[in-house]
């Protein structure tokens, strides 16, 4: 029954954002109409979801069916292949929702050779869960969400730099959830100086993201609140050789060229699988012009700020022909009290 596969997919969704460079995966083992084991991959290097579920089921797995959100692996990574574990436990059937296009796909054959029935049961929800993961893994850069809070006229701050609070408290809570779902949050020196933010996650059992700060010049005021908050590491990217830190929580990486591509590649190499960009118009505009963006989330407050074009979240040096402007599709929209949340993907 697909309720068990749906349950495995729900488990995967719950650990999305905490598995770093590994995919979020959920698994449920069923025998004689009873759930006898369930599991999720909790973090990179930990047991895979199938192994968690089979360890829970033990002998009760024999002759049963295992439902998995993603095709089971066949390779030796930091853990042994999951197909071996499935064979050892004597399961009768394997049902999975998505094929892993980033790994050798010989799992079905190995399982079938061992006498196990295999069913690939495609599921839209699960496809969506893994689409950006596969894309990021192929490019070896993190999955990227850009978040913007602005007025109806697209301003992230007034011309004088005032930005607290454009959107409402419900938006703030939603942004905490976004931080929880990402490994790292990225911002620029301009935002640190204007807002003195901490980028923590103030929700029950929230996970604080690693904080990534960009400053080509390296002229950062180290007395700002973010540098006094010990909750997670801070990684600074700069081109300045003068910027150094004696604080072990703060890592300074000096790149010859602080291009977005170079920074993203380095972040992925360090284990950042999902990155949330929460920056001012300079960096927001840069990210919106790259090919790396997966999702753009805009929170609109029903206000008009006006002034000049300053602090408008998207600006370009050149005027672009309408045929060539970045285009998006709206994948979701909802009201957060009197504010509107739009979730968009680049076309």
Which residues are annotated as catalytic? 50
Question: Any contact of residue 339 with ligand NAP (CB under 6 A)?
Answer: no
208 is in an annotated binding site: no
Give whichever of 100 and 195 is closer to ligand NAP, judged by the CB atom: 195
Instruction: Find, among 42, 40, 36, 46, the residue nearest to 89 by Cα.
Output: 36
Phi, psi of 331 (to 5 degrees): -100, -20
CB 199 within 8 A of CB 147: no
73 is in an annotated binding site: yes
Find the binding residues for ligand NAP in span 309-328 (CB under 6 A).
311
Stretch that binds ligand NAP, among 124-132, 225-233, 275-283, 335-343 (CB under 6 A): 275-283
Residues contacting residue 335 through CB under 8 Å, at least 6 positions apart: 341
Question: Which residue in 237, 268, 287, 300 binds ligand NAP (CB under 6 A)?
Answer: 237
163 is in an annotated binding site: yes
Q: How far is the CB of 191 from ligand NAP (least distance, A)?
A: 3
Could you tell me how many residues make up the chain?
Answer: 347
Question: Any contact of residue 264 with ligand NAP (CB under 6 A)?
Answer: no
**Both structure tokens of 347:** 């076309």
Residues contacting residue 218 through CB under 8 Å, at least 6 positions apart: 236, 238, 239, 240, 242, 243
Question: Which residue in 69, 143, 181, 215 binds ligand NAP (CB under 6 A)?
Answer: 215
Give whichever of 111 and 166 is closer to ligand NAP, judged by the CB atom: 166
Report the residue closest to ligand NAP, judged by CB. Answer: 190
Question: Which residue in 2, 173, 217, 316 binds ligand NAP (CB under 6 A)?
Answer: 217
Q: How far is the CB of 313 from ligand NAP (least distance, A)?
A: 7
Give whichever of 133 and 235 is closer to ligand NAP, judged by the CB atom: 235
82 is in an annotated binding site: yes
Question: Any contact of residue 219 with ligand NAP (CB under 6 A)?
Answer: yes
Question: Any contact of residue 81 with ligand NAP (CB under 6 A)?
Answer: no
Rounded Cα distance, 295 and 284, in Å: 12
Question: Any contact of residue 276 with ligand NAP (CB under 6 A)?
Answer: no
- 150 pairs with which residues across the strands? 300
Question: Which residue in 89, 189, 211, 270 binds ligand NAP (CB under 6 A)?
Answer: 189
Residues contacting residue 244 through CB under 8 Å, at least 6 positions apart: 252
Residue 85 three-state SS: helix
**Both structure tokens of 251:** 């890592």
CB 173 within 8 A of CB 203: yes
Stretch that binds ligand NAP, among 5-13, 87-95, 210-218, 289-297 (CB under 6 A): 210-218
CB 323 within 8 A of CB 195: no
Find the binding residues for ligand NAP in span 240-259 (CB under 6 A).
258
153 is in an annotated binding site: no
Q: Give the helix ranges, DSSP H, for the chain.
A: 2-14, 49-57, 82-88, 107-113, 124-139, 169-180, 189-195, 260-269, 281-288
* Binding stretches for ligand NAP (CB under 6 A): 148-150, 156-157, 161, 163, 166, 187-191, 194-195, 214-217, 219, 237, 258, 260, 278-283, 311
Q: Which residues line the annotated binding site?
A: 48, 73, 82, 163, 165, 179, 191, 195, 202, 278
């Amino acid at each position: 029954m697909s309720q068990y596969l749906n349950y495995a997919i729900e488990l995967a969704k719950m650990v999305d954002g905490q598995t770093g460079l590994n995919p979020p995966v959920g698994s449920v083992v069923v025998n004689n109409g009873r759930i006898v084991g369930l599991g999720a991959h909790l973090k990179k290097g930990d047991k895979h979801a199938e192994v968690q579920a089979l360890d829970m089921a033990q002998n009760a797995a024999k002759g049963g069916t295992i439902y998995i959100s993603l095709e089971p692996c066949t390779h030796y990574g930091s853990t042994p292949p999951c197909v071996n574990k499935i064979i050892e436990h004597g399961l009768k059937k394997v049902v999975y929702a998505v094929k892993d296009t980033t790994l050798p796909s010989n799992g079905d054959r190995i399982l079938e050779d061992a006498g196990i029935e295999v069913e690939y049961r495609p599921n839209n929800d699960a496809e969506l869960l893994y689409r950006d993961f596969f894309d990021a893994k192929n490019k070896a850069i993190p999955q990227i969400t850009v978040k913007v809070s602005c007025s109806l006229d697209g301003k992230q701050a007034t011309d004088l730099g005032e930005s607290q609070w454009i959107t409402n408290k419900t938006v703030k809570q939603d942004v905490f959830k976004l931080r929880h779902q990402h490994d790292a949050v990225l911002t620029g020196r301009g935002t640190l100086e204007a807002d003195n933010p901490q980028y923590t996650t103030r929700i029950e059992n929230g996970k604080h993201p690693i904080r990534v700060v960009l400053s080509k010049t390296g002229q950062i005021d180290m007395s700002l609140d973010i540098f006094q908050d010990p909750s997670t590491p801070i990684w600074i990217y700069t081109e300045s050789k003068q910027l150094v830190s004696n604080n072990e929580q703060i890592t300074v990486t000096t790149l010859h060229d602080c291009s977005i591509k170079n920074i993203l590649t380095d972040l992925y190499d360090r284990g950042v699988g999902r990155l949330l960009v929460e920056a001012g118009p300079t960096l927001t505009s840069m990210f919106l012009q790259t090919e790396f963006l997966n999702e753009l989330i805009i929170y609109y407050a029903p206000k008009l700020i006006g002034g000049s074009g300053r602090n408008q979240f998207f600006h370009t040096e050149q005027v672009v022909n309408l045929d060539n402007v970045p285009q998006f599709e709206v994948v979701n929209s909802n009201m957060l009290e009197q504010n509107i949340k739009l979730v968009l993907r680049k076309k």
